[in-house]
Amino acid sequence: MSSRRAFTAIVLGVALGVSVLGALWFSSRIAQEYEREFLQRSEWLARNFADQVWLQLRTIEDPSRLRSVFNTMVDEFVVMDPVIYAQIVLDGELIAQHQHLGDAPVERVLALPEGAVPARHTERKRLEGGREYLDIWRAIEPGRTDESTSYVRLGISLTPLHEAIWGLYQMVLLWAVGFALVMGGVAYLSWPWWVKGRPLPDTERGDLTLTLSASGEGQGEVEGSGERSRTLSFGQLVIDDHAKEVRLNGTVLPLTPREYALLRLLAAEPGRVFSAQEIIERAWATEKFVSSEDVKKYIYLVRQKIERDPQNPQIILTVRGFGYKFVPPS
């Protein structure tokens, strides 16, 4: 994998990890707020139901008409999503009930308890099919005692809450992945600006440079006694990376930094063909807006300074369709 791709993969991985963790934390906080608001609305609905029943008890004295009104009330409450059942119990007797439980055992779910019940009670339960709901009990006359035999009971499905939270997680995770992909794209496109330059092959192998023999047959040895010798020698052509100069027959050639970087890259691996794009990335990685035409121009300029006959080059050769290579001078 090239350094550019490796760098992009690292940025993408870091951005993905950070954004996903941040998204999960952010989603959990919002999900808690969703749940708190849902519970508050459910509590308010049950309290409102109990208040309406209490108002009808104070207004209507005819028992038969009162039962009819209560049956209408429970029918209307169950129609309201997400209510799945509603009960009205007076003095321990079931007055009105309506439910929408599907295949769930109604007798077991809505069975009346023996004796009084808590004046205020909310419990999470689950139907046999796995559907989770809130079972809410509210005394019709709250505040009188801690227990009551006259109460209303509502079942509130938690399915809408779960769907809202799941949708939130999906949206935030998609945003996190999109953010990571954008960061990866930015890292890939801005690679030359993120690094000071890629190390040359000799420095990647320990900053030791082989001194090739003047015959150019590839037999060489490490030149210099120091750990970081950076001199390439090809007979009368010497490339001194420490001094950043090129000497030919003892004369220092007037190379610009770009020309020097180009020659240094090609000479580091004699005989290897470098494409124009590879020269741009490895020799001039920190520079902006360099094109293959610039490579061709600098190849021409370097030839003018090191070749005996620039029109018939012997050191820097063009491999048509592939790029350029360095041939040690004989």
289 Rama class: left (phi>0) / alpha (psi -120 to 50) / beta: left
CA 70 from chain centre, in angstroms, equals 54
Ranges of residues in the chain with a pLDDT under 50 are 1, 194, 196-229
Q: What's the confidence (pLDDT) of residue 102?
A: 79
CA–CA gap between residue 166 and residue 178 (Å, rounded): 18
Closest C-alpha among 322, 279, 319 to residue 297: 279
Q: What's the confidence (pLDDT) of residue 39?
A: 92
Return all residues near 94 (Cβ < 8 A) that are at least 6 apart: 87, 88, 112
> 232 has which bridge partners?
239
Q: What's the confidence (pLDDT) of residue 104?
A: 81
CA–CA gap between residue 47 and residue 317 (Å, rounded): 90
Q: What's the confidence (pLDDT) of residue 324?
A: 93
Which 3 state secondary structure label does DSSP give 228? coil
Q: What's the confidence (pLDDT) of residue 141?
A: 79
Q: What is the pLDDT of residues 304-318, one digit of tens each?
A: 999 889 899 999 999
170: enclosing H helix or E strand:
helix 159-189
Residue extents of the structural domains in the chain: 3-164, 201-326
CA–CA gap between residue 225 and residue 154 (Å, rounded): 89
CATH of the domain spanning 201-326, picked from 3.50.50.60, 3.30.460.10, 1.10.10.10, 3.30.1490.20? 1.10.10.10
Rg (CA), the chain: 41
Q: How many CA atoms lie within 13 A of 230 on its CB side?
A: 16
CA–CA gap between residue 98 and residue 155 (Å, rounded): 11
Closest C-alpha among 134, 116, 114, 115 to residue 125: 134
Q: What is the pLDDT of residues 284-309, one digit of tens each?
A: 877 767 888 889 999 999 999 998 89
Q: What's the confidence (pLDDT) of residue 199?
A: 46
If you average pLDDT over every residue of the chain, what do you get? Answer: 82
The CATH topology of domain 3-164 is Beta-Lactamase (3.30.450)
Q: Are 31 and 158 in contact (CB under 8 A)?
A: no
Q: What's the confidence (pLDDT) of residue 200?
A: 42
CA 212-263-252 angle, 5° bins? 85
Return all residues near 189 (Cβ < 8 A) that are at least 6 apart: none
Q: What is the pLDDT of residues 239-256, one digit of tens each?
A: 988 888 999 988 999 999
Angle at which helices 3-59 and 159-189 pack, to 10 degrees? 160
Q: Are 207 and 230 in contact (CB under 8 A)?
A: yes
